[in-house]
Amino acid sequence: MRLIPDRIEVAGSGRLRLDGAPGAGGELQGVATGLTGTEGWPGDLLPAGAHAERLGWWLADDTGTARAVRSAAVVFRVVDVQGPLRMFRHGYQSWSPCSTATFGVDRDPSLAAGSLELVRGVHQADQRVVDDPLELRSEWVTVLVDDRHEPVLVGFDAGTEHDGTLRLRDGQEGPELWCEAFLGDAVLRPAERCSLHDVVVATGASVEDLLAAWATLAGEVGRARTSAPYQVGWCSWYHYFHDVTEADLDANLALADDWPFEVFQLDDGYQAAIGDWLVTNPRFPSGLDAIAGRIAAAGRRPGIWLAPFLAAPDSAVATRHPEWLARSADGSPLVTMFNPPWGGGLDGFMYGLDTTHPEVLAHLEQVAGSLVEAGFSYLKLDFTFAPSLDGVWHDRSRTPAQRVRAGFESLRRGADRAAALAGVAGGAFLLGCGAPLSHVVGLVDANRIGADVAPWWTASTGAGPGTAVLAGYEDSEPSTANAWRNTAARAFMHRRLWLNDPDCLMLRQQHTALGPEASATWAHAVGVTGGMALVSDDLALLGADARRLLDDVLELGRRADAASSEGRVATAPGLMDAGVPTAVGSPVGRLDVDVTTGRSTFRPGA
């Protein structure tokens, strides 16, 4: 199997044949494009025997008038395929599923009957339904394999300026891989030349080694933040959910001395409204300063959750500043999330803040700074895909990637400034969640890498929400099985792009449909991969068995994390052999999982 560069295509503007000539360029109906040549990866980033190329390219307006560009793509012909052609489909944001699909057999989730545009926008860079019924999509990076040849990795080396979507399509001469820079209808200014992220291609090593090498490259390009210490803590969400109270928080804090927690994080449920993060609701009468003070006095780092780019229709921020909201084509506020428990005046439909508006960016900086000033130096930033959706934005020259990143940059500035003034050791800690992964390298210290866990293994075994709204994207809904899928598939990212957050441990055996075997499976998955370890139970329900399991997980996790820091990250053996990963391994051991039942076998490492 080989990939042959064939042409550049720009959405709505035609095509340019490349004919294998680096540096070739030309006009495509008012859009100029070209290649800047190819170069290799730094040799010390590649596994022994591997070889790789990086292809630079650019895009420019050539009309003298501003024009919107949806996307541009370098197209490779995929030739000499022997047997079924399989593709690793990497998900767009934290919750978006990762899996292996077979070309000509599996289908893109956007084609599912009843798929909703809002849901597609949450889980894909391009929220439209694919044109080719055979098309398979991966975001940021992919691996292709057939039955005879070595695997081929293809990806983008960054995602700060635009999304990178890999589209496997049925071309006139056979399969084609479209390496698409998705600009989301950003307006190119007259004569503006836009350098696009390099397309990288690598072969000559195992799937696991190629993915690890690519993550190392992307981390170096993005100046990834990977030096934060291993995180151990407690989170309120998976026992109390939206109904958490200040009394619940205090009751668990009173028991925390018997547990090895360093972080103590208050999740969703404290805020006056989505968007009004500095004002508590009546269930939290003391206010944020007092709550953070009590957590700090107990010797824990105070953490807090927020969804910084969302605003409930009846929130103070939305009603006082309607000009801060992104807009739909008809001029109404842009809906960027639906979550019925939030209410908000429209039964759970949430608006998106316009992160291209200077006043919004100043507001986000002030919110983050105020929370850190109140004592919360650990910020969990959730539902952060919101600025990526199609809409009408204050600055139409900004791509979806730039809109997301601008919001994170403002939060980082505010949090860092306040942490420096307060003398916070190590500075503020930012955890991304629901984040388009390629956009936040270098800004977050940790990133959620999978779907929400839940007190059940699969939704069918618990009281989980129905999946009708998520048609085509059911694998992203809260369930421990879905969290396992991505924790294994994205294990290679840990300490290369950020600290992996696989999501919380659940150790309780009451008020849960997650049985002892599945609970232990999930705990061992967290330990073997070395990611963050936060418990999310009412501590009053936990006994000696739960503590022993946690101690085992932390012992594994600290060793696996240390190995990751030395370059020996966890991997998912057989990733390309099955639709869903069934194993994960690291220097501390190997975990084989029955993805249907949640049962597993753990074999310690040497």
Are 265 and 122 within one domain?
no
The answer to whether residue 600 is domain-embedded is no
- Indicate if 490 and 563 belong to the same structural domain: yes
Residue 359 sits in a domain whose CATH number is: 3.20.20.70
In a domain, 601, yes or no: no
Q: In what order do the strands lie in the sheet with 600-604?
A: 583-586, 589-593, 600-604
506 inside domain = yes
Would you say residue 192 has pLDDT above 60?
A: yes
> pLDDT digits over 149-188, tens only?
899 999 999 999 999 999 999 999 999 999 999 999 999 8
Q: Please name the residues in contact with 396: beta carbons below 8 A apart, sequence gap of 6 or more.
A: 68, 185, 186, 187
Strand, coil or helix: 364: helix
pLDDT at 138 over 70: yes
Q: Kindly indicate the confidence band of residue 581, based on its pLDDT and cuts at 50, 70 and 90.
A: very high
- Number of domains present in the structure of the chain: 2
Count Cβ atoms below 10 Å from residue 14 Cβ, excluding itself: 15
Residue 61 lies in a domain: yes
User: 258-285 in b/e burial notation, b at 16+ Cβ within 10 A?
Assistant: ebebebbbbbbbbbbbbbbbeebeeebe
Report how far residue 82's alpha carbon sits from residue 80's, in angstroms, rounded to the nearest whole number.
6
Identify whether residues 23 and 157 lie together within a single domain.
Answer: yes
Same domain, 204 and 341: no
Answer yes or no: do 193 and 296 share one domain. no
Q: In a 3-state reduction of DSSP, which class is residue 401?
A: helix
* Sole residue written with tokens 């428990």: 341
**At which of 221, 255, 270 does a domain end?**
221
- For residue 545, what are the β-bridge partners? none
pLDDT of residue 415: 98
**Which whole-number Å values give the CA distances from 39 to 25, 58, 71, 180, 216, in the listed order?**
18, 15, 24, 19, 17
Share of the chain above pLDDT 70, in %: 93
Residue 297 inside a domain? The answer is yes
CA dihedral 222, 399, 489, 144 (to 10 degrees): -100
Q: Are residues 248 and 390 in the same domain?
A: yes
Q: Which of 200, 221, 242 is the last residue of a domain?
A: 221
The verdict on 549 and 416 lying in the same domain is yes
331 and 184 together in one domain: no
Q: CA 241, 242, 244: angle at the middle one, nearest 5?
A: 80
The answer to the question of residue 502 being in a domain is yes
Please check whether residues 236 and 209 belong to one and the same domain.
Answer: no
Query: Which tens digit of pLDDT belongs to each residue from 403-426?
Result: 999 999 999 999 999 999 999 999
- The per-residue pLDDT for range 344-387, each reduced to its tens digit, is 999 999 999 999 999 999 999 999 999 999 999 999 999 999 99
Query: What is the rounded average pLDDT for all residues in the chain?
Result: 93
Distances 2 to 47, 146, 175 between C-alpha atoms, Å:
20, 11, 11
Work out the average pLDDT over 333-349.
97
Q: Please report whether residue 579 resides in a domain.
A: no
With cut-offs at 50, 70 and 90, classify the pLDDT of residue 469: confident
Instruction: Kindly state whether residue 606 falls inside one of the protein's structural domains.
Output: no
The confidence score (pLDDT) of residue 25 equals 53
pLDDT per position as a tens digit, 265-323: 999 999 999 999 999 999 999 999 999 999 999 999 999 999 999 999 999 999 999 99
pTM above 0.85, yes or no: yes
Q: Are residues 372 and 470 in the same domain?
A: yes
CATH assignment at residue 8: 2.70.98
Residues 138 and 574: their CA atoms lie apart, in Å, by 18
In terms of residue numbers, what domain contains 49? 2-221
What pLDDT does 62 receive? 74
Same domain membership, residue 267 and residue 155: no
Domain shared by 82 and 160, yes or no: yes
**Alpha carbon distance 226, 223 (integer Å):** 9
pLDDT band of 463, cuts 50, 70, 90:
very low
Q: pLDDT at position 17, please?
A: 54
